[in-house]
Amino acid sequence: MLSFRFPLFIYIAPIGDISREKGNADMDYVIAFKGEAQTKVVLTDGVLARQLVRPFVGARCNGTTEVGIGFLNTDGQVQQFYAPDFFKNILQSWRGLRIFDRLTHIWKTTLQDCYNAAAPDPTYLEKRAFECLADQIGRRQLDIFLDKIRILVPAPGVLDQMLTIFDTSGVTLDVFELQSELKKGRLQSTLFLRFLINQEVQAYKQLNSEERAQYESEIRRMEQEAGRLITLQARAVAS
């Protein structure tokens, strides 16, 4: 059975308000999920200071759309945000937020470390990132914690709300991630998810041969680049 990553979302009546925030250089951010407000020690402009932050799963919209995790400051503005270049994984982002919740200190690369640590493949986490997280959580506790995080999923209502907010804001996601988690039995098979995946397959079938070739070529390029990054990071772990 083929797996696709076709950027198509169908309109579903929105649940709640769509939050758009400003960040650096007046970039627009779509906030799909907000965690609880937390006190962290945050490194800002070379200075460590205790402050109240609110983590979120969202998207940065600056010509292209990047999906990842960040946190808001007390003024409700985006203070930091991280998203990968190639993938738009809503579940990995949500899991990365669960890791963020456990931390007390936020350094320059902490959001990236949280996101990468939530990847299904643990070899994706480079040695430096593992050490930084282990310093705060504990080495043995981190291994156990990450094993639990990598299979954790949001409640169906929470996931549907995030998907709807992204959809109504024009943010496309990696549906392959959702399809994979459904096959593993971790996600509840809601009407929304079944409809979403079915629409993706139908859209792919409607492409002409030239469009299919272009689409598949782009997917191969993305996967090769992602594989190259994983290989580099795995070497770092082994060194």
210-231 pLDDT tens trace: 766 766 666 666 556 555 554 4
Q: How confident is the model at residue 137 (pLDDT cuts 50, 70, 90)?
A: very high
- The domain of 192 spans 19-238
Domain membership flag for residue 51:
yes
User: For the chain, how many structural domains are there in total?
Assistant: 1
Highest mean pLDDT among 161-165, 186-190, 193-197, 234-238: 161-165
Could you tell me if 165 and 32 are in contact, meaning their C-beta atoms sit under 8 angstroms apart? yes
Domain membership flag for residue 6:
no
Domain membership flag for residue 122:
yes
Helix (H, G, I), strand (E, B) or coil at 63: coil
Report, as an integer, the average pLDDT of 152-174: 89
Domain membership flag for residue 9:
no
User: What predicted TM-score, i.e. pTM, was given to this entire model?
Assistant: 0.77
Give residue 8's pLDDT. 34
Domain membership flag for residue 11:
no
Domain membership flag for residue 4:
no
Give residue 179's pLDDT. 86
Give residue 209's pLDDT. 75
Q: Residue 78's beta-bridge partner residues?
A: 72
Give residue 34's pLDDT. 97
Write the DSSP string, 204-239: HHTS-HHHHHHHHHHHHHHHHHHHHHHHHHHHHHH-
Report, as an integer, the average pLDDT of 162-175: 87
Alpha-carbon distance 104 to 186, whole Å? 29
Pick the range with the lowest mean pLDDT from 51-55, 178-182, 190-194. 190-194
Give residue 3's pLDDT. 36
Whether residue 25 is predicted with pLDDT greater than 70 in this model: the reply is: no
Whether residue 5 is predicted with pLDDT greater than 90 in this model: the reply is: no
Return the HEC string of 127-186: HHHHHHHHHHHCHHHHHHHHHHHCCCCCCHHHHHHHHHHHHHCCCCCCHHHHHHHHHCCC
Give residue 64's pLDDT. 74
CA nearest to 147, candidates 69, 100, 95, 189: 95
Domain membership flag for residue 141:
yes
More confident residue, 121 or 7: 121
Domain membership flag for residue 1:
no
- pLDDT tens track for 60-111: 987 678 999 999 999 999 999 999 987 899 999 999 999 999 999 999 999 9
Provide the percentage of residues in the chain whose pLDDT is more than 70. 74
End-to-end CA distance of the chain: 38
Give residue 236's pLDDT. 45
Number of H helices, E strands in the chain: 8, 7
Give residue 235's pLDDT. 46
Q: How confident is the model at residue 120 (pLDDT cuts 50, 70, 90)?
A: confident
What is the pLDDT of the chain when averaged over all its residues?
80
Q: How confident is the model at residue 128 (pLDDT cuts 50, 70, 90)?
A: confident
Give residue 116's pLDDT. 93
